[in-house]
Structure 1
Amino acid sequence: MAKLAIEHIKGNTYMISSPANIGIYIQGDDAVLIDSGNDKESGRQILKLLGERGWKLKLIVNTHSNADHIGGNAFLQERTECEIAATALEASFITNPVLEPAFLFGGFPDDDMRNKFLMAKPSRVTHIIESEGTIPGTPLETLSLKGHYMDMIGIITPDGVAFLADSLFSDVILSKYHLTYLYDVKSQLETLNRLRSLKADIYVPSHAPACEDISLLIDANESKIREIAQVILSLCSEPATLDDILSGLCNRYGIELNATQYLLLSNTAKSYLSYLKTQGYAVYEFKEGRMIWQKST
């Protein structure tokens, strides 16, 4: 992996740019980490960087339980005996990482599905925190950002820096991949609306550069969600199974499936279908042993 480096943002707040950006907040000589990267090597580099500055890792706060955000947990906790904080629902997945591929697949995942992109090494969550409030022993505030994952949170530091986890994706990612993973479409749209009124000096999404204004990024993410919802609804103009819809999405956006992509995209397609049904735009029936989706009349 690429060499990581610490960048100063403001006051006691720092970040490490990586495929999933990592936050650091300093209290004296103690470091609070916001997520830990995607694997053991991330953890190794993070520990080295902290040591070079004389900082001791005290706590990891995980915004959610996806493997690219908790991948360094196990190494860092083993080496430093640091504490780990997460919301209750996300903590279950951090402690038992097989739950993620099992949840995505809807059954016991095979060897190809139990890979490092979907299943990190287990780590021990020592503190269950609320999705809204102050993290005990720190001045950090949590912010509920449900949508991308079950009980995802953002973190706001006293320096006016807001770490926004996977609530926003960059224009580059949206134009390249189109379908970013979504657990709850309605909640994600509500989160985007909430972000419009969030005041901070600097915003740090996990998958976009740090910036002072996220308004255009919010627009781009909302536009892409509504685009995909309309594409899926058009694929239901005629009776269609989930596999029919998934095939249509892959053809539309030029997606080549593998085990990981299949789990993420099929699960996301289900989330969109659930949203469309709840909003009254789509219905389903069971016919000849198949679940058939169709646009509402």
Structure 2
Amino acid sequence: MKITKLNDIFVIDSGALNTVFIDTDSGVTLFDTCLNVDTAKKLNKAIGKDVVAVLNTHSHADHIGGNSFFESRYGCKTYIHKNELSFCSLTELESALLYGGASFKKAKSKFLCAKSINNVSTLDNLENKDIEVVELFGHSPGHCGFKINNTLYAGDAIFSKEVIEKHKILYIYDVKEYINSLYKLKEIEFENIIFCHKGILSKDEANSLIDENLNHTITVGNMIRDTLKKRPLITGEDISADLMKDLNIPFEIEYFLLVSSTIKGYLKYLEDIEKVAPVIDNGVKWKLL
């Protein structure tokens, strides 16, 4: 794993994503622990010091998958926004959120369901006042970034152009909140921004990428409306299947759950701005307004 020092922050390139840590007098504070125990062990070796606290930007499995290792190894506490506390202590809630109920076995893969932990608290109880918590909701119910001096670790509040092109539909829990957070990022003063998937950018570079993310969000919303023009009164799952086919997104369990959950979030947003409406017709279907 490659480590780069950026002011007071150490950036670890784990391959799949960037995570960061800071070194304090009491030990290392690690932000996000990647996908699983195997990766966490590599992180631990790269850091080379005791980890005294873990701060999670959000509760998705590729960010909290190593929490259980650090809790077991060091007895350290994990901190996360109160909206996602339960997702760390009972991680099957993550797959249940995507599926819409207690989920089947294949919906609990390592990509969707991490190992639960016990020693977890809310960011309100964070003692290190040098770390500024920045609420950047939308990608998840309580997604947060962390600002240390003039550097912002933004987690999944923003995605690289390469990730957008690769995945075609970014996972979003609440589209309105996600858009608001992108505009919030434009207003925040920082020298550099670090984001997980994947990059380190200056403020000017970040503003350009924020526009890319905003344009992508608008594009997906328009694609949903175009689908409803061609096929009025269809379910969210049917819209998801049509878009996955059109965009050549693999029809695999993980992808379908992520895309269908995202499309439902878009439909809620489009309903809020009075572009679509739900209809009860042998299930919940959607129509254009």
TM-score (norm 1): 0.92
Q: 2:288 aligns with which of 274, 283, 295?
A: 295
Paired letter, 1:283? A
Contact 1:135–1:141, Cα closer than 8 Å, also in 2: no
* 2:174 is equivalent to residue 184 of structure 1: yes
AA in 2 matched with 1:216:
S
Deviation of residue 135 (structure 1)? 3.3
CA distance in 1, matches of 2:2, 2:88: 25
How many residues are paired up? 284
Q: Distance in 2 between matches of 1:107 and 1:244?
A: 19
**What pairs with 1:1-297 in structure 2 (closer than 5 Å)?**
4-10=1-7, 12-18=8-14, 19-28=16-25, 30-51=27-48, 55-130=49-124, 135-158=126-149, 160-212=150-202, 213-237=205-229, 238-287=232-281, 289-296=282-289
CA RMSD for the aligned pairs? Answer: 1.4
The one-letter amino acid of 2:287's match is Q
Structure 1 residue 136 displacement after superposition? 1.4
1:8 partner SS: strand
Deviations 1:261-291 (A, max 9, x none): 111111001000111011100012112x122
Specify the SS of the correspondent of 1:14: strand
CA contact (8 A) 1:40 1:71 kept: yes
**Which blocks of at least 5 consecutive residues in structure 1 are unaligned?**
none
What's the secondary structure of 2:107's corresponding residue?
A: coil
Q: Which amino acid aligns with 1:171?
A: K
Flag structure 2 segments of 5+ consecutive residues without an equivalent.
Answer: none
Tell me the percent identity: 26
TM-score (norm 2): 0.95
Tell me if the contact between 1:168 and 1:208 (Cα under 8 Å) persists in the aligned partners.
no
Q: Which amino acid aligns with 2:81?
A: T
C-alpha deviation, 1:29, in angstroms: 5.6
